[in-house]
């Protein structure tokens, strides 16, 4: 009887292992089918929502792959767990990479177009990297394009959508596993990283945007810092591999974006101060035995100051922030009131938008706060884990103060960039707390129950977060797709317009397209290229043909109409205004290619 029971027990792990292998095979097959379905359904024009435009087969297949990967990751042994990590990581990152998979000509209709123009100028040698305040992304796109043999515009789509997110997820997982050193840590770190908590859809985006790419690299710097702090005594020389790697990675961030580097320097200063305090007043704590990061903080701080303030743009921005703080006072509350009114007019609310964009951030923030309280109130002997948690908690304080400073100084929505930086250590701390809680629950309940709870928690959070990876009507914004037809239409308009006739557009106008096609600095040197502008809503709706003395060109792309009429319900630019373009005798359509329509508006002196 005992022998029979023993054989039964020995067979269970084998059956479980076989089931997990079959599940992984199904998961990878579903992943391949899903990506193929998306790839075989390329974009044919502007799509207001990439979520709706992507075939249901993709979403179903990716959902299956993600669930299988997550389930096996939290239940399998080491070897199968690694395969599950790969499966769930590719599945979730493919959602970010949809614009690349579905063949978007370019992704990012605002700042990203300008960065494309800067990269083109660097590539052809008309503008040097040393002249740019943050050349990292542009140089990366140039190098990637030449190595991979793809066009520069394509490189600047693929890199932000795949390479940087992969680096973010990898080093969040590694950092959590180093800090926690729990059996669940690497898996929970991976799942937490795949939430991409820093992406908020307001100022941090998965497109060519130096601030966003810099934040994606912050986990890499934090990981190297922790490895240096916890290195063996014999490997703590300033010229050791861990020290040099940490220093180079931190300095490299300067060339991606100075604001995120400023946050990093502030974090390093806080950690160096914590080390000084513990060495002086609590020399038995593990922090007192860690290698000091004062030298690295000094080097990164000097690199930041030397590089940043040699650029007039950075100096002017600093003066603007200070004048905003000392001048008329904050207008942020008033701005929030304007946003609230606009959202209500299109059927939304600030509260609902906040929940959509920041619910998971708040959850991780609360969990991280509880971890900090538990660590600081612990009566047991402090460990290396306690020291690392202390570092990360202390590192949150200075960037948080900088965020408050920028908020009060009325710097638009730039404080959300600070929140994006803060979300990195918050994600790490939250993942550490979840890993430790899961281990604690596992002692008191069955592993199956814990696995179900864990998978459910991350499945819900992933759905909430993934819905905000890309701008869409879900967050009351339109897709950032740039079509090849719109680029061709704008280029034709700029090249063949009559004389220096001004080219207008909806909202900000077509200046970003000038940057992307010709380069920002070429446009600045050319009066004809810089002759662009935006038409205001009241003028567009009521008196377009009487507002200008001389003739104007007006560009309307397909995204303009969908955004203003379908999404914003004519809040600023009415449907009647668009219809008037076809009826008014003083307005003539001169270009139409399916993606862009260009009208010539006769001036009052014509």
> Looking at residue 235, what is its pLDDT?
58
Q: What gap in Å lies between CA 252 and CA 135, rounded to an integer?
A: 11
In a domain, 22, yes or no: no
CB atoms within 10 A of CB 78: 8
Quote the tokens at residue 126. 């008309």
Q: Rounded to an integer, what distance in angstroms lies between the CA atom of residue 535 and that of residue 542?
A: 12
Query: Structural domain of residue 544, as residue ranges?
Result: 483-601
Whether residue 361 sits in one domain with residue 291: yes
- Whether residue 308 is contained in a domain is answered as yes
Q: State whether 221 and 149 are in the same domain.
A: yes
> With bands split at pLDDT 50, 70 and 90, how would you rate the model's confidence at 353?
confident
Would you say residue 422 lies in a domain? yes
Residue 477 inside a domain? The answer is no
Q: With 70 as the cut, is the pLDDT of residue 367 above it?
A: yes
pLDDT band at 196 (very low <50, low <70, confident <90, very high): very high
Q: Which of 444, 472, 497 is the last residue of a domain?
A: 444
Q: Is the pLDDT of residue 331 over 80?
A: no
Give the model's pLDDT for residue 16.
72
Q: Is the pLDDT of residue 344 over 80?
A: no
Percent of the chain with pLDDT over 90: 65
**Domain annotation covers residue 471:** no
Half-sphere exposure of 80 (CA within 13 A, CB side): 23
Quick check: 62 and 94 in contact, CB under 8 A?
yes
Of 388, 419, 444, which marks where a domain is finished?
A: 444
Q: Do residues 252 and 304 share a domain?
A: yes
Name the nearest CA neighbour of 108 among 144, 157, 142: 157
Does the pTM of the predicted model rise above 0.85? yes
246 touches 297 (CB < 8 A): no
pLDDT bin (cut points 50, 70, 90) of residue 77 is confident
The pLDDT, as a whole number, for residue 340 is: 64
How does the average pLDDT of the chain come out, rounded? 88
How far apart, in whole angstroms, are the C-alpha atoms of residue 509 and residue 539? 14
Q: Which residue has the higher pLDDT, 399 or 182?
A: 399
Domain boundary among 428, 444, 460: 444
Pick from 120-129, 216-225, 325-334: least confident: 325-334
205 and 302 within one domain: yes
Residues 172 and 268 both lie in one domain: yes
Three-state SS at 76: coil
Show the 3-state SS of 394-434: HHHHHHHHHHHHHHHCCCCCCHHHHHHHHHHHHHHHHHHHH
Q: Do residues 119 and 247 both lie within one domain?
A: yes
Task: Look at residue 54 and tell me if it is in a domain.
Answer: no
pLDDT tens digits for range 106-155:
999 989 999 999 999 999 988 988 889 899 999 999 999 999 999 999 99
Same domain, 335 and 391: yes
Mean pLDDT calculated for residue range 340-346: 69
pLDDT of the residue at 11? 56
How confident is residue 319, by pLDDT bands cut at 50, 70 and 90?
A: low
Q: Are residues 180 and 246 in the same domain?
A: yes
Q: Is residue 203 part of a domain?
A: yes
Judged by average pLDDT, the poorest of 136-145, 303-312, 315-324, 338-347 is: 315-324
402 has pLDDT over 60: yes
528-534 contact pairs (CB < 8 A, 24+): 528/499, 528/500, 529/494, 531/500, 531/501, 531/502, 531/503, 532/502, 532/503, 532/504, 532/505, 533/502, 533/503, 533/504, 533/505, 533/509, 534/504, 534/505, 534/506, 534/507, 534/508, 534/509
pLDDT at 435: 92
Based on the number of CB atoms within 10 Å of its own CB, is 222 exposed (0-12), middle (13-18) or buried (19 or more)? buried
3-class secondary structure, 150: coil
Could you tell me if 137 and 255 are in contact, meaning their C-beta atoms sit under 8 angstroms apart?
A: no
Residues 490, 430 share a domain: no
Q: How many CA atoms lie within 13 A of 231 on its CB side?
A: 23
Residues 260, 352 share a domain? yes
In a domain, 49, yes or no: no
Are both 192 and 256 inside the same structural domain?
A: yes
Q: How many domains does the chain have?
A: 2
pLDDT at 233: 67
pLDDT digits (tens, 9 = 90+) for 505-538: 998 889 999 999 998 877 777 767 778 899 999 9
Is residue 324 located within the same domain as residue 201? yes
3-state secondary structure of 391: helix
Whose CA is closest to 187, among 404, 502, 439? 439
């Amino acid at each position: 009887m005992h022998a029979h029971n023993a054989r039964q027990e020995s067979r269970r792990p084998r059956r479980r292992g076989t089931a997990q292998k079959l599940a992984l095979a199904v998961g990878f097959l579903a992943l391949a089918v899903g990506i193929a379905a998306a790839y075989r359904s390329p974009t044919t024009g502007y799509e207001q929502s990439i979520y709706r435009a992507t075939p249901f087969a993709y979403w179903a297949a990716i959902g299956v792959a993600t669930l299988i990967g997550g389930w096996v990751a939290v239940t399998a042994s080491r070897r199968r767990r690694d395969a599950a990590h790969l499966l769930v990581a590719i599945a979730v990152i493919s959602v970010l990479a949809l614009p690349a998979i579905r063949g978007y000509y370019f992704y990012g209709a605002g700042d990203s177009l300008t960065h494309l123009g800067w990269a083109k100028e660097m590539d052809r040698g008309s503008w040097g990297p040393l002249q740019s305040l943050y050349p990292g992304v542009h140089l990366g796109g140039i190098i990637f394009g030449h190595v991979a043999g793809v066009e520069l515009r394509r490189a600047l789509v693929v890199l932000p959508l795949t390479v940087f997110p992969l680096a973010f997820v990898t080093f969040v997982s590694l950092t959590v596993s180093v800090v926690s050193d729990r059996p669940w840590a690497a898996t929970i770190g991976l799942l937490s990283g795949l939430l991409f908590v820093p992406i908020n859809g307001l100022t941090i985006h998965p497109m060519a945007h130096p601030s966003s790419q810099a934040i994606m690299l912050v986990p890499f710097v934090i990981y190297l810092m922790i490895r240096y702090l916890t290195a063996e005594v014999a490997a703590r020389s300033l010229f050791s591999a861990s020290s040099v790697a940490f220093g180079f990675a931190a300095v490299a961030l300067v060339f991606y974006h100075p604001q995120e580097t400023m946050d990093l320097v502030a974090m390093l200063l806080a950690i160096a101060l914590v080390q000084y305090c513990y060495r002086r007043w609590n020399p038995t704590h593990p922090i007192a035995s860690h290698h000091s990061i004062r030298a690295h903080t000094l080097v990164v701080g000097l690199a930041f100051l030397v590089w940043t303030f040699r650029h007039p743009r950075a100096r002017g921005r600093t003066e603007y922030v200070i004048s905003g703080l000392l001048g008329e006072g904050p207008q942020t509350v008033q701005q929030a009131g304007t946003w609230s009114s606009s959202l209500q007019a299109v059927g939304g609310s600030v509260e609902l938008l906040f929940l959509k964009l920041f619910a998971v951030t708040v959850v991780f923030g609360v969990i991280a706060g509880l971890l900090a309280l538990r660590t600081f109130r612990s009566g047991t002997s402090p460990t290396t884990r306690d020291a690392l948690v202390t570092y990360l908690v202390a590192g949150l304080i200075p960037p948080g103060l900088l965020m408050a400073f920028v908020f009060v100084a009325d710097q638009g929505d730039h404080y959300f960039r600070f929140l994006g930086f803060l979300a990195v250590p918050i994600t790490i701390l939250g993942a550490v707390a979840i890993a430790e809680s899961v281990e604690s629950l596992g002692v008191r309940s069955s592993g199956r129950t814990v696995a179900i709870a864990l998978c459910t928690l991350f499945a819900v959070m992933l759905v909430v977060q993934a819905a905000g990876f890309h701008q869409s009507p879900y967050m009351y914004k339109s897709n950032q797709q740039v079509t090849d037809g719109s680029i061709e239409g704008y280029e034709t308009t700029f090249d063949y317009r009559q004389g220096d006739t001004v080219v207008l557009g909806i909202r900000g106008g077509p200046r970003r397209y000038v940057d992307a096609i010709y380069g920002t600095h070429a446009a600045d040197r050319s009066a004809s290229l810089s002759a662009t502008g935006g038409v205001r809503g009241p003028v567009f709706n009521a008196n377009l043909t009487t507002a200008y003395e001389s003739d104007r060109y007006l560009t309307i792309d397909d995204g303009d109409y969908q955004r203003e009429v379908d999404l914003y319900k004519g809040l600023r630019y009415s449907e009647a205004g668009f219809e008037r373009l076809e009826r008014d005798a003083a307005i003539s359509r001169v270009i139409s290619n399916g993606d862009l329509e260009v009208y010539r508006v006769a001036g009052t002196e014509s």
